[in-house]
Chain A
Amino acid sequence: QSVLTQPPSASGTPGQRVTISCSGSSSNIGSNYVYWCQQLPGTAPKLLIYRNNQRPSGVPDRFSGSKSGTSASLAISGLRSEDEADYYCVAWDDSLSGSWVFGGGTKLTVL
């Protein structure tokens, strides 16, 4: 059971806009930045979004992040077949001695 809750799956057709949610609590998302990683099949993860809504250089502006309260979202617009991947949210959690926590991941299928 992950500390951050994501839907296990999402889907969309090419060109559509899809959103992936990530729900946490006051000790993680509510008080810290959210990061999003993309993992293409058989590859290492890649950072997509940092500090809630910032994109590293090279990440297309089709990817955007937002945060409100104890929840965060990743939006992908103009969906492409190469966006089919697993997506993970991650945040620092202040509880106890502190730790980073990942969401369980969302498998995005491009129909």
Chain B
Amino acid sequence: EVQLVESGGGLVKPGGSLRLSCLASGFTFSSYNMHWVRQAPGKGLEWVSSISRSSSYIYYADSMKGRFTISRDNARNSLYLQVNDLRAEDTAVYYCATEKSPTAFDFWGQGAMVTVSS
């Protein structure tokens, strides 16, 4: 059974940093591209970033460039998102999701809540 479990969320002060993790199981993690997608409270889905199977290709949404860093460790079946200089508008549930041709966004984690507040 495919499982994606996000962790590392919580309450953070403005200007702070955190690293989200996504632990994968039930599939060959190294064969999948991976994504981070976020959802602010009461709002729609917003794509954050994606990373290819071997980390050769990395993409960010324009609004995320500079403060967000995606990475992965295939030996640990893990995906990461480092977020620096957190702002109130970063408050959201952060989901990790898979991509393997021909599908994309086919499996999702349950999400990790990040709240940025003083």
Contact = CB atoms under 8 A, between A and B. Distances in A.
Chain A complexes with chain B: yes
Interface of A: 2, 35, 37, 39, 44-47, 50-51, 54, 56, 86, 88, 90, 96-105
Interface residues of B, number: 23
Contacts of B27: none
Contacts of B103: 35, 47, 50-51, 54, 56
Contacts of B26: none
Given A2-B44, A102-B44, A37 B105 contact: yes
A35 B100 CA distance: 13
Nearest to A103: B44
Contact of A105 (B44, B47, B50, B110): B44
A46 B102 contact: no
